[in-house]
Amino acid sequence: EARGMIFDLDGVIVDTAKYHYLAWKRLAEELGFAFSETDNERLKGVSRMRSLDILLKIGGMVFDDDARRRLAEKKNLWYVEYISRMDKSEILPGAGDYLGYLRGRGKRIALGSASKNAPMILERLGIAPLFDAVIDGNKVANAKPDPEVFLTAARALALDPSECVVFEDAGAGVEAAVRAGMRVVGIGDPAVLNSANCVVGGLDALLPKNLHNK
């Protein structure tokens, strides 16, 4: 039985995708091109700089490193402004209960997120104390699908990768978990997350009260 549970943040515990989308769209519009919600799907689980590169490619624009850094900073300022208004009501259904349930069963819990804003989001939502370890974009050099974030989380929990289960909503994250040698529960669309060991619509589906009639 698994002893460690490692959670992605965006799209698993909280629905920040819409704020990332608003901020990227605002940047695209300022640069003079459109950015759709379908385009935004490609940025899920992807690091900030890599997201910017995908966005600029869609707009057919090229910038040097300095300009790219400034653009990424600008997007982040808007994003932080949006999420600073976020509250507990934006925790995804069942996420808080499921974390509490796992803690009650003595599981070790870590966050494994690409986001550099993760600690601030956990604080704002009041769920930071539910995690034994928080590994985020500030603590790793290689973004998902590289397994570094999950391997670092397992180490922080003092567990072997084989003892850990990852919860992920993005294709890049599922791939990272598989490469880390961990089992993966996909959150979302089974067609997109086909490398996951199983896929559910949300963490609420994993609560004991919802498992009985399955």
Write out the binding residues: 8-10, 24, 43-48, 51, 75, 113-117, 144, 168-169
Q: Which of 25, 44, 107, 124 binds ligand G6P (CB under 6 A)?
A: 44
Binding-site entries for Mg(2+): 8, 10, 168-169
By CB under 6 A, what part of segment 125-144 binds ligand G6P?
A: 137
Q: Does 10 bind ligand G6P (CB under 6 A)?
A: yes
By CB under 6 A, what part of segment 156-175 binds ligand G6P?
A: 170
CA atoms within 13 A on the CB side of 46: 17
Strand order in the sheet with 133-135: 133-135, 108-112, 4-7, 164-168, 183-187, 198-200
Q: Annotated active-site positions, please? A: 8, 10
Q: Which of 6, 12, 35, 45 binds ligand G6P (CB under 6 A)?
A: 45
- Residue pointed to by tokens 């896929």: 199
| Number of residues near ligand G6P (by CB under 6 A) | 16
Please tell me the distance from the alpha carbon of residue 115 to that of residue 169, in angstroms, as a whole number.
Answer: 14
Looking at residue 92, the DSSP 8-state letter turns out to be P
CA atoms within 13 A on the CB side of 149: 34
N-terminal to C-terminal alpha carbon distance within the chain:
20
114 binds, among ligand G6P, Mg ion, none (CB under 5 to 8 A by kind): ligand G6P
Q: Which of 51, 95, 177, 193 binds ligand G6P (CB under 6 A)?
A: 51
What's the token pair of residue 11?
A: 């799209």
Where does this chain bind ligand G6P (CB under 6 A)?
Answer: 10, 20, 43-48, 51, 76, 114-117, 137, 170
